[in-house]
Chains A and B, each alone.
Chain A
Amino acid sequence: MALEQGGVPTVAVHTDVFARLAQSVARANGMPTTRQAFVPQPVVGKSAAELRAYVDGKDPVSGRPFAQEVIDGLTEPLGDTDLTGLSFERSTPRLLEPDTEDNLHALFAGNGWTDHQPILLPTEERVAAMLAGTSRAPDETVGRLRPTRYREFWEFTVEKVAVNAVMAGARPQYLPVLLAMAASGLSGRSSSTTSQATVALVNGPIRDEIGMNYGIGAMGPYSHANAAIGRAYGLLSQNLQGGSVPHESYMGSQGNFLSYNATFAENEAASPWEPFHVQHGYAADASTVSLFLGGWYTVFGGGPRETWEQKFTRSLQACDPYTGPIVALDPIVARDFVSLGFDTKQKLIDWCVEHARLPAKEYWDNQWVQTLFHPQAVAGVEPYATLLAADPDEEIRMFRPEDIHVVVVGGETGAVWKMLGGGPRRTTVTVDDWR
């Protein structure tokens, strides 16, 4: 669409499963008649001959010959809407029309404003009570969210975050955490076809102040604060960014269980190492939330036992090379690693970086490595350029140090650990700013 504005007639080719999304994006950009042509899904994995057949075949959306759609898109005369685009205002009211509770529940569910579980209706009284959890003004703008890079940003206020917090059953004292997460600009309802979830790690005094669980069952449904914050983050993300609707604003092929809740807290008191936020430059008495886009995989293990190096190496190799792991260790495991000489988290991270290796041909055959890292390698960006120059059978490093994180969590009922897809830390936000 930017090229059209630059005076260049353009046709964008998509696969057919993206038709509704592509048309929705075009409309939201004021250019609803953007010329688009569609081929069948998928393109990935198809041979040159199969893709030539796509070109020779029909556009599965219009039913017309695909190539003719492309040529017509560049040469057919323009109509009235083409010459003006489409301007319109979309507004959302502060309050909805009063109705019965039953009808309002049906309205919220029907409009896709819930996570398909019962919600608390955000009455004026409940929202006012929630707003007591922050000193910020209700009408203060918090930030902007969008489900993916090519969608438009939607803006929101403190009050709008409070509304969604009420819906999720959150308590006022959780609101500063939720405002910080919302202000991060990272959505908990990303539209990625990979079905990524947003993993959130809470550090600092706020954990105890609001009763977060970082002991037994820390990653499960055993704390009101953990459960409500995780749910509220999802609800506020989908509602404040303009939706999370399959085919339009959500394209995750398989979805992700962690989209229900991937919020947890570090067990700082039982950890032999410095807390995660301190590692990243924050004071120990600061309260923070660190956010990661990932959550695609989980690898589980126990130990470290006699063969831990082999187990850890195999587990790291099983992780997706595009997304390094959050290595979440029970305090028992963390202390055992200290006994093995890993007296800092960084030493364990460095060990993982050194031992997580794949043959270069296998690394570069990963779809997302190919899509996202290969162009950087070609452009000379390190370490990807060096990795691309490696012999296909050479065992190359899968991760950079910043791709791997070590966190201590759990209640010491077992010497257990998980490797959870996390990727590079996207941001750490300060809760204290939103008290």
Chain B
Amino acid sequence: MKSKVAVHDPRGYPPKVTGKRLAPRLESLQGKVVYLVDCLFDNSDVFIGQLGNWLGERFASADLRLIKPRQSWVDDPDMRARIEADGDAAILGVGL
């Protein structure tokens, strides 16, 4: 019978995960302020524009607002604050 050996686990230590709840949902997009966030990946502005067109055709009373962060891949607290201050919903996209 082959002998057994003890070896170290090579992995690092992951952080504890703390659950976070989702925000309350809307009954409808009609009459609501919906931010369309262009994440700045190449061509994402075109996609977000097309998604905005689609939503505008179906939710005529929705206030659709295009917005961009300062840079791609970097959190933009000012942009988030603006969305949280007067937005009812947000759609983020898209790239690659």
Contacts and interface: CB of A to CB of B under 8 A. Distances in A.
15 contacts: A6-B84, A11-B92, A12-B93, A13-B47, A17-B96, A35-B22, A43-B96, A46-B46, A54-B50, A74-B91, A77-B25, A85-B20, A121-B7, A159-B8, A375-B68
Contact of B72 (A4, A113, A375): A375
Contact of A13 (B14, B40, B53, B93): B93
B47 A154 contact: no
B4 A18 contact: no
Interface in B11-25: 11-25
Interface in A118-134: 121-124, 127
Contacts of A145: 12
Contact of A371 (B13, B34, B91, B95): B95
Contacts of B12: 92, 145, 154-156, 160, 239-242
A63 B25 CA distance: 23
Given A55-B54, A74-B25, A75-B25, A153 B15 contact: yes
A15 B95 contact: yes
Which secondary structure characterizes the binding site on chain B? Answer: loop
Interface stretch (A23-31, A173-181, A401-409, A413-421): A23-31
Contact of B11 (A35, A52, A242, A376): A242
Interface string A166-198: 010000000000000000000000000100000
A235 interface: yes
A5 B24 CA distance: 10
Q: Looking at chain B, what size class is its interface with the partner chain? A: 35 or more
B5 A95 contact: no
Interface in A93-107: 93-96, 98-102, 104
5 A-B pairs closest in CB distance: A85-B19, A13-B93, A240-B12, A156-B12, A154-B12
A434 interface: no
A94 B16 CA distance: 17
A167 B10 contact: yes
Contacts of B92: 3, 10-13
B7 A13 contact: no
Given A113-B11, A164-B10, A71 B29 contact: yes
Nearest to A100: B2
